[in-house]
Amino acid sequence: MDLIYATDQKEDIGVMKNFTFDLAFGVDENNFELTVNTNNHVCREGYILYIEDTEYGGIVDNIRVATASSQLIYGGRTWHGILESKVIEPDPGEDYLVCNGEANQILGLLLTRMGLSDLFRANSESSGLTVNNYKMNRYVKGYLGIRNMLETVNGKLKIDFQEGFVILSAAPLVDYSRDDEFDSSQIDFDVKKNYRHTNHMICLGKGELAERQVIHLYADTAGNISHVQSQFGMDEVTDVYENVNAESDEELENGGIKALKEAWNSDELQVNFDSTRSYDIGDIVGARENTTGIFVARPIAKKIVTIRDNVVVISHKVGE
């Protein structure tokens, strides 16, 4: 597993020697530090680092020297961080950027909008995922906007450096909790099971008093959302979603559906674990507590990767 360093023009220079490469990406950070001895100073600002056919790499944004320990630290954005340092804007005069079509084709269009086509490309193959009338949040960070969009079609973003380019691919997320799970005899974790989810969302839009725009949404015991109430009395848990800027019933309802799904998905799982298997951001893992039998499944929120002496250690975080 060679860590290549290349110029800002993507001209390969050599292979890093005697280094520690720390990367973090997901809900936050999305950056890296590459630590070498000062005698091994080979990179400049703007150089890129990559390991072929992996998501491990990025661009050198800063250089720090610790003279007491003779260490030199190259820091910068991972590929994920470069996406996060861009903002996806609506077209002039438009309220939203609306995305339609095959997911990989949309990724290509978004890369062009963000001005990243010199280094980034979208997978040319079909992902099998189709996005329908997705309204991108206004002025959203690129990495977050892409992940939010793909989440609506049960998809995830995969990143690989291949033949001189950072390749973005949309792929179906994987629910590992269906076939494999952690239990409290294997790993320590905090888990909370909520048995009374919000199941009635009152959506309030424009207007005053009796003229107020109002939509009622209901979730059944399986979390399916409709306009038909199925839980009553003590079982009914109600909340309010408000959006006075909603331009239509559809926009208000879509916002309410998202809020109801988030409220429904209120089970908590907090766990950090190392694994020889590399899960992707968004993939779902599950854990079962043996005493109570509580089972909770949650998505991978963050990955921390350390590469030293050609050994890769991956830590996954769930619950952030």
pLDDT tens digits, 176-210: 888 777 776 666 677 777 788 899 999 999 999 99
Structure tokens, 70:
């003779």
Q: If phi over 0 gives left and psi between -120 and 50 gives alpha, with beta otherwise, what is residue 219?
A: beta
Residue 141 confidence (pLDDT): 97
Low-confidence winner among 38-47, 154-163, 214-223, 264-273 (lowest mean pLDDT): 264-273
Tell me 60's DSSP state: E
Phi-psi region at 161: left, alpha or beta (left = phi > 0; alpha = psi -120 to 50) = beta
Q: What are phi and psi of 277, to 5 degrees?
A: -90, 135
pLDDT at 121: 98
| pLDDT (0 to 100) of residue 268 | 67
Contact, 300 vs 283, CB < 8 A? yes
Find the mean pLDDT for residues 79-96.
95
In contact, 70 and 98? CB cutoff 8 Å = no
What is the pLDDT, as a whole number, of residue 187? Answer: 67
Query: What is residue 184's predicted lDDT score, i.e. its pLDDT?
Result: 67
pLDDT of res. 308:
93
pTM: 0.79
Q: Amino acid identity, residue 31?
A: N
Can you say how many angstroms the Cα of residue 37 is from the centroid of all Cα atoms in its chain? 33
Query: Which pLDDT belongs to residue 136?
Result: 93
For residue 119, give the DSSP letter: T
What radius of gyration do the chain's Cα atoms show? 23
pLDDT digits (tens, 9 = 90+) for 246-283: 888 998 999 999 899 888 777 767 777 777 677 899 99
Q: CB neighbours (10 Å) of residue 20?
A: 14
Q: What is the pLDDT confidence band of residue 217, given thresholds at 50, 70 and 90?
A: very high
Question: What are the φ/ψ torsions at residue 176 (nearest 5 degrees)?
Answer: -70, -15
